[in-house]
Amino acid sequence: MSDVDSFIDEVTEEVRRDRLFLLLRRWGWVGVLAVVLIVGGAAFNEVRKARATSQAEQLGDSLLAALTQNQSQDRVAGLEAVETQSPGGDAILKMLLSASQLEAGSDQDAVASLNAVATQGDLPEIYRAIASFKALLLQSETMPAADRRVQFEALAAPGAPLRLLAEEQLALIDVSEGNVEAAITRLQSLRQDAEVSIDQQQRAAQLIVALGGVPEPLVAQQG
């Protein structure tokens, strides 16, 4: 390699270093910022997790303290004083409160607590469905059958989490209205459902027999 070539290579390398230095001066803060964001994000997640864990522990301690009261009225008072920090925690609190209110003889308050969960739009559907189902059961003697039918039909919609349990209740409403054939037809269909449990099949069969019908042979479900 000639001296000229060596000189050119040295100059080229020097230019590259100068350009790199200028780039670092101009854009180096981007890398620093990226590191800060990554580290800060990780720290924020850890703080958030720790806070959520602390809130869950506090809620659990508060619920346990309220539920260990001997008298149902005292449990109700203790639960009503508990504060929650999340929709899920509030739903758990209200469901426990409804059970204590029911034990204390406050059926209407228990229904109100369950309905508050059933209408809480930021909860998963399963929790809202359970609360609505329990509230309807508590009103079996006070709510008109037609109104209960409408609400149970909503819970029995295709894909609903408590669809089959709601179908059972609709069959009982059919019976209460004297429509025995409709009840038997509904129960026969229920027994053949691909998602029905063995317990539900047995309950449906027993009710069919009690209504004077004969359970149809079960059709083997294809997997």
Number of domains in the chain: 2
The verdict on 2 and 27 lying in the same domain is yes
The verdict on 28 and 46 lying in the same domain is yes
The verdict on 116 and 168 lying in the same domain is no
Q: Which domain holds residue 164?
A: 144-223
Q: What are the pLDDT digits (tens) for 140-156?
A: 999 999 999 999 999 99
Task: Give the separation between CA 65 and CA 93, rounded to whole angstroms.
Answer: 13
The verdict on 117 and 157 lying in the same domain is no
Q: What are the pLDDT digits (tens) for 93-118?
A: 898 899 999 999 999 999 999 999 99
Task: Give the separation between CA 106 and CA 137, rounded to whole angstroms.
Answer: 15
The verdict on 126 and 148 lying in the same domain is no
Q: Which amino acid would we find at residue 118?
A: A
Give a yes or no: residue 29 inside a domain.
Answer: yes
CA torsion angle 92 131 87 76 (round to 10): -40
Q: Which amino acid would we find at residue 153?
A: E
The verdict on 118 and 200 lying in the same domain is no
**C-beta of residue 203 within 8 angstroms of C-beta of residue 187:** no
Separation in Å, CA 45 to CA 35, 48, 58:
15, 5, 20
Q: Which of 100, 134, 168 is the last residue of a domain?
A: 134
The verdict on 128 and 149 lying in the same domain is no
Number of H helices, E strands in the chain: 9, 0
The verdict on 39 and 107 lying in the same domain is yes
The verdict on 129 and 204 lying in the same domain is no
Which residues fall within 8 angstroms of residue 47, CB to CB, at 6 or more apart? none
The verdict on 70 and 177 lying in the same domain is no
Give a yes or no: residue 123 inside a domain.
Answer: yes
The verdict on 58 and 100 lying in the same domain is yes
Give a yes or no: residue 139 inside a domain.
Answer: no
Question: Could you tell me the pTM of the whole model?
Answer: 0.72
Which residues fall within 8 angstroms of residue 208, CB to CB, at 6 or more apart? 184, 187, 188, 214, 215
Question: What is the distance, to the nearest Å, from the Cα of residue 214 to the centroid of all Cα atoms in its chain?
Answer: 38
The verdict on 153 and 94 lying in the same domain is no
Q: What is the pLDDT along the chain (223 residues), one digit of tens a residue?
A: 554 455 445 545 555 655 655 555 555 444 445 555 565 555 545 555 656 566 667 877 777 888 888 888 988 998 888 888 888 888 888 988 999 999 999 999 999 999 999 999 888 899 899 999 999 999 999 999 999 999 999 999 999 999 999 999 999 999 999 999 999 999 999 999 999 999 999 999 999 999 999 999 988 654 4
